[in-house]
Amino acid sequence: MEETIEVSGLRKRFGRTVALDGMSFTVRPGQVTGFVGPNGAGKSTTMRVILGLDAPDAGQALVGGQRYASLGRPLTLIGSLLDASALQPGRTGRNHLLWLARSQGLPSSRVDKVIAQVGLGGAGQNNAARRKAGGYSLGMRQRLGIAAALLGDPPILMLDEPFNGMDPEGIIWMRGFLASLAAQGRAVLVSSHLMSELQDTAGRLVIVGRGKVIADTSTAELLAAASGDRVTVRTTARDAAVTALARAGASVAADEPDVLTVSGLPAERVITLLSEHSVPVSEVSAHRATLEEAYLELTRDATEYRAAAGEMAR
């Protein structure tokens, strides 16, 4: 059985609230899969069901073809980080990891290895792993949680908001670290609200809303679809540009006095047409949507909490 996470038709209610409404997707090896959606979309509930912390009303979640509860040594198949604060603050980071390792029959050598992997080691006072975890910043707790997830050297990893609390250096490290895990052939599921980080990290995206999957696609395909065929033209001869482009069948909108948005023609054709008509331009660029733009477009009808424009300005 391929080492994957398979979520099939999950349904879950909490009283009258529908948390999951047929959630289905697969996380495959060799790539980072981003798991994104508005608050209340069902991401946390799905992750809890995968780990056997919540029981679904219908459907199933399998890890490597098995239910989590049936795994004899789960940390050797799947490592997870759901809550970075789930630790005993009086223990040192290293002792926290030793306790987890012993519970799974793992050697203490794995503890020192993962400490080095996540950057909590060091000499003397710089050895964060030998300090009490209660004094850790959120970013350091995230690193400790990731170290715990790596203890069993699992082929599958599931991380909930791992970028939270990270400083710029930590975000850069996390981005490269996730990519390296996927490059090793691991299946990596990452939930995050930071679209800019997933755009550079996730090869595939599962976008969810109101308890179900809205889109399950590659990041490249989603961005290409969201970008469309729009081209930005900056020119001081707006009327001449509009005339030349419209005659060629393009749709042209004037966004600013000297900026046009052109649809229906590729950038190369736009450049040729404007050159043929001697229209001066300072910029011709194909529009490339950001992941945030694509995400907001897909989830605009699945957001439960949205501030009014006036409220946002206060």
**Residue-range domains of the chain with CATH:** 5-224 (3.40.50.300), 229-286 (3.30.70.100)
Percent of the chain scoring above 70 in pLDDT: 94
Arithmetic mean of pLDDT, 211-218: 94
186 compared with 199, residue with greater pLDDT: 186
Position 230 scores a pLDDT of: 86
Position 123 scores a pLDDT of: 56
Taking alpha carbons only, the member of 31, 33, 168, 181 closest to residue 114 is 181
Position 193 scores a pLDDT of: 82
Average pLDDT score over the chain? 90
CA pair distance 234, 282, nearest whole angstrom: 6
CA pair distance 275, 49, nearest whole angstrom: 59
CA pair distance 120, 207, nearest whole angstrom: 33
Phi, psi of 168 (to 5 degrees): -55, -40
CA pair distance 137, 147, nearest whole angstrom: 15
Q: Does pTM surpass 0.85?
A: no
CA pair distance 305, 284, nearest whole angstrom: 38
Please say if the pLDDT value at position 113 is more than 90: yes
Distances (CA, A) of 290 to 39, 213, 275: 20, 20, 29
263 has which bridge partners?
251
CA pair distance 161, 165, nearest whole angstrom: 9
Please say if the pLDDT value at position 108 is more than 90: yes
pLDDT digits (tens, 9 = 90+) for 146-175: 999 999 999 999 999 999 989 999 999 999
Please say if the pLDDT value at position 305 is more than 50: no
